[in-house]
């Protein structure tokens, strides 16, 4: 190791002693380093080689995709103790989804928030959900005067309620910024995340103007009996630690003709969802007959989530 010739006038023994000391110090340092980063083993144990080598969702062949889904099902069984099915539900041709919400009838009960929490297998401890409801001052559209942490019986005098979730922007700033294309817009308008490709930089979370994205700050915990076993790869399967997730308009349901969980849970019928390309759909009727508006229109994100008032 030592380039002893370099130090010409040093005596042999001094050099030898120095070499020995340096070897000792290096060994000690390396040992201490190994000890310091030992907790990494816990992390590596939670993942595996197949997962690490897995390709981007859109590059998987159908055979590879089947293997991935089977592996994920087995992992859920092993880690969460529950038999689940994870499908890959593809967008349908001729379908463009949109959502509308009637602010005149929403009472701010947050049933949609709860339904999302259950449907999408959110972490129980943090009570995560893709929907946030703002309690707003009657007569003002200023979000600065709204509160998301209201905690009293609803609906309150002089207030109205503004539920906000992913707006499935037509021009989404979140997908633009992703350095690895882990998030993109699907042909039916839904913005999705490949949880197995995301590197967890949270740039998209900073870019989203609607606070629609969530990060898995720790491994999500859901008791086995509370897990929703009907899952899909791009939506409600239990997410890994350290990646970003978001509302997918419940694509595992809606792409099969069902309605999103938040709509089904709404007791007032404030929510309207459907395919805007279908001339007979109720969403089409709302968009054609109500004076709808979108949040932060000035940003040019062109949301697919509309709001309207009845009276």
- State the minimum distance, in angstroms, from the CB of residue 92 to other proteins: 26
Contacting other proteins within 66-125 (CB under 8 A): none
Judged by CB under 8 A, the stretch of 69-77, 97-105, 202-210, 222-230 that binds other proteins is 202-210
What CA dihedral angle connects 292, 294, 299 and 302, to 10 degrees? -80
Judged by CB under 8 A, the stretch of 24-32, 76-84, 103-111, 229-237 that binds other proteins is 24-32
Distance of CA 117 to the CA centre of its chain: 12
Instruction: Answer for the pair 305, 294: CB distance below 8 angstroms, yes or no.
Output: yes
By the criterion CB under 6 A, which residues form the site for ligand SF4?
166-169, 172-174, 177-178, 180, 182-183, 191, 193, 198-204, 208, 210, 212-213, 244, 246, 301
Give the Cα separation of 198 and 51 in Å (integer). Answer: 12
Name which of other proteins, ligand SF4, none residue 285 binds, using a CB cut-off of 5 to 8 Å depending on partner kind. none
Q: With binding defined as CB under 8 A, does residue 293 bind other proteins?
A: no
Judged by CB under 8 A, the stretch of 38-46, 70-78, 108-116, 273-281 that binds other proteins is 38-46
Q: Which is nearer to ligand SF4, 122 or 159 (CB)?
A: 122
Q: Residue 55 has what DSSP assignment? A: P
Q: For residue 183, what are the β-bridge partners?
A: 193
Q: Which is nearer to ligand SF4, 193 or 227 (CB)?
A: 193
Determine whether 55 is exposed, middle or buried from the number of CB atoms within 10 Å of its CB (0-12, 13-18, 19+): middle
Give the Cα separation of 163 and 262 in Å (integer). Answer: 11
User: End-to-end distance of the chain based on CA atoms, in angstroms?
Assistant: 84
Q: With binding defined as CB under 8 A, does residue 180 bind other proteins?
A: yes
Nearest to 162 by CA among 101, 99, 249: 101
Name which of ligand SF4, other proteins, none residue 144 binds, using a CB cut-off of 5 to 8 Å depending on partner kind. other proteins
Q: With binding defined as CB under 8 A, does residue 201 bind other proteins?
A: yes
Q: With binding defined as CB under 8 A, does residue 146 bind other proteins?
A: yes
């Amino acid at each position: 190791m030592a380039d002893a010739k370099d130090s010409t006038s040093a005596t042999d023994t001094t050099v030898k002693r120095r070499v020995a000391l340096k070897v000792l110090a290096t060994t000690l340092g390396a040992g201490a380093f190994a000890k310091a980063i030992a907790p990494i083993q816990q992390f590596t144990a939670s993942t595996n080689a197949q997962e690490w080598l897995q390709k981007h969702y859109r590059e998987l062949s159908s055979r590879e995709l089947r293997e991935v889904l089977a592996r994920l099902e087995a992992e859920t069984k092993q880690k969460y103790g529950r038999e689940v099915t994870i499908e890959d539900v593809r967008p349908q041709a001729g379908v463009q989804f949109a959502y509308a919400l009637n602010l005149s009838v929403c009472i701010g009960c947050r049933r949609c928030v709860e339904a999302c929490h259950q449907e999408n297998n959110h972490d129980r401890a943090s009570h995560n959900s893709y929907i946030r409801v703002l309690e707003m001052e009657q007569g003002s559209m200023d979000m600065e005067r709204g509160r998301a942490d209201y905690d009293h019986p609803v609906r309150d005098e002089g207030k109205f309620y503004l539920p906000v979730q992913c707006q499935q922007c037509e021009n989404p700033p979140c997908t633009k910024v992703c350095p690895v294309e882990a998030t993109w817009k699907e042909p039916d308008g839904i913005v999705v995340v490949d949880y197995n490709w995301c590197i967890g930089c949270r740039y998209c979370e900073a870019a989203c103007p609607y606070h629609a994205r969530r990060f898995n700050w720790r491994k999500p915990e859901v008791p086995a009996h509370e897990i929703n076993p009907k899952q899909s790869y791009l939506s409600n399967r239990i997410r890994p630690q350290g990646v970003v997730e978001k509302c997918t308009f419940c694509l595992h349901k809606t792409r099969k003709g069902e309605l999103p969980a938040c709509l089904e849970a709404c007791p007032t019928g404030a929510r309207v969802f459907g395919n805007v390309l279908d001339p007979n759909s109720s969403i089409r009727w709302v968009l054609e007959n109500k004076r709808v508006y979108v949040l932060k229109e000035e940003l040019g994100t062109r949301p697919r989530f509309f709001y309207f008032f009845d009276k």
